[in-house]
Structure 1
Amino acid sequence: MSRPLRVLVVDDDALVRAGLSMMLDGIHGIAVVGEAADGDEVPAAADAYAPDVVLMDLRMPRVDGITATRRLRSRRHPPEVVVLTTFDADENILHALRAGAAGFLLKDTPPAQIVEAVRRVAAGDPVLSPRITRRLMDRAATQAGAYQRARAALATLSPRENEVVLAVARGRTNAEIAVELYMKVTTVKAHVSHILSKLELDNRTQIALLAHDAGLA
């Protein structure tokens, strides 16, 4: 028989650790081999227990789950990591995935789905809760839409006006733009005014944001 999947539970809440350990230890083919109460305990626990999968809390007092995940995944033979948290802000999700987490689940995920996630990430399949998947899809769609709208807006400007937009996005003053683009300050001001009018924007900050959305800054 193949050995059971070895799981390390990392959470600063002792009750959460105990609950996850009791739940997973009762599942055939899974063994909770250790626990850690903070991210700074994870390296030593990984050395001691050689887990296949780590269930990682996000917010912990000394070292957060994202930092601990990044450190684990930099090892030669790293375990897979499933972030299990109550915090589902987009930034948390993206930071965790970029750090190398193979899964991101919320703590209200049904036990059966947590068990399935452990098995799937151990087999090399990434896992996201349905709510998280929808959030990322919506975010991607919003970003794609903003990019297309920004590109279309900038396409209505002249090449010279686009140069001014890029300079504004880089934080240049009118005087600096004048030197950089070899024109008078009054001409720069006129270009900025025309850009605001054409694009129906209110200020230079909105010009910079539009350039950012278009991938230019």
Structure 2
Amino acid sequence: MNTRIAIIDDNNFLIKSVKDKLSFYTDISIGFTANNGAHCLDKLEVDARVKLILMDIEMPRLNGIEATALIKQKFPQIKIIMLTVFDDDENIFKAIQSGADGYLLKETPPQELYNAILQTLEGGAAMTPSIALKTLNLLRSPLSIKTNDDEETVKLSGREIEVLEQLAVGLPYTSIADNLIISPSTVRRHIENIYKKLQVHSKVEAIEIAKRKRII
């Protein structure tokens, strides 16, 4: 199966460099490239069939972190890996807040980049080791989190989680159906199953419980 991705960078030489790195892998194709976040959003409005975006941070008009937040609002099914030269705490923190699914440095070798793309598409969070360490340090907190050992574990399917993620950003059934390439009736069926599993009767309740249980 061929996976379409996009490369967003204001430096065309670096776009070519990433293309060259991935040219060895026949199961990945480049859907489009863009030189800034605004251009990327324009292209997604025309064709949002890409599965993953490699996103630079520093770009004119709309930087990578701002673009990531906007893309995740409208196309939450698209995975985004920040591919940048910046490894400072502030950029890492902002990227995570914006919804980035991974964070790699541009010096990442071809095989590691390819593996990171596959890992992210399978639901993982790919990070350069130095970035992962910084992220752990950022997330460490003296605050304890209360857990309820008696709380029942809820298992949603991958598709149900995708539908719930899109509901959580306010998308209507028709948009969810278009994004996931399924029918509106299938979306409704997934939502009915979600309600049953979470034992709720409304979208608001479903989203609240899913966030509390860290399902989304």
TM-score class, shorter:
0.5 to 0.7
Question: Residue type of the partner of 1:18?
Answer: K
Report which of the two has the higher share of helix.
Answer: 1
How far the C-alpha of 1:76 sits from its partner, in A, is 4.5
Which structure is larger by alpha-carbon Rg, 1 or 2? 1
Question: Residue type of the partner of 1:62?
Answer: R
Task: Determine which of 33, 37, 40 is the counterpart of 1:39.
Answer: 37
From the superposition, tell whether residues 77 and 97 of structure 1 become closer, same or farther in structure 2 (CA, over 3 Å).
Answer: closer
Distance 1:24 1:90 in 2: 28
Where in structure 1 are there 5+ consecutive unaligned residues? 149-217
Task: Determine which of 4, 7, 24 is the counterpart of 1:6.
Answer: 4
Aligned to 1:116: 115
Aligned to 1:107: 106
Aligned to 2:137: 138
- TM-score in terms of structure 2 length: 0.62
Q: Does 1:27 align with 2:25?
A: yes
1:128 partner SS: coil
1:84 partner SS: strand
Question: Residue type of the partner of 1:69?
Answer: T
How far the C-alpha of 1:109 sits from its partner, in A, is 1.4
Distance 1:116 1:131 in 2: 17
Distance 2:75 2:50 in 1: 14
- TM-score in terms of structure 1 length: 0.61
2:44 partner SS: helix
How many residues are aligned here?
143
Question: Residue type of the partner of 1:37?
Answer: N
Quick one: percent identity of the two aligned structures?
27
- 1:136-193 deviations in Å (ceiling 9; x for gaps): 223445x53xx79xxxxxxxxxxxxxxxxxxxxxxxxxxxxxxxxxxxxxxxxxxxxx
Tell me if structure 2 keeps the 8 A contact 1:24–1:32. Answer: no
Where in structure 2 are there 5+ consecutive unaligned residues? 145-216
Tell me if structure 2 keeps the 8 A contact 1:82–1:103. Answer: yes
How far the C-alpha of 1:77 sits from its partner, in A, is 4.8
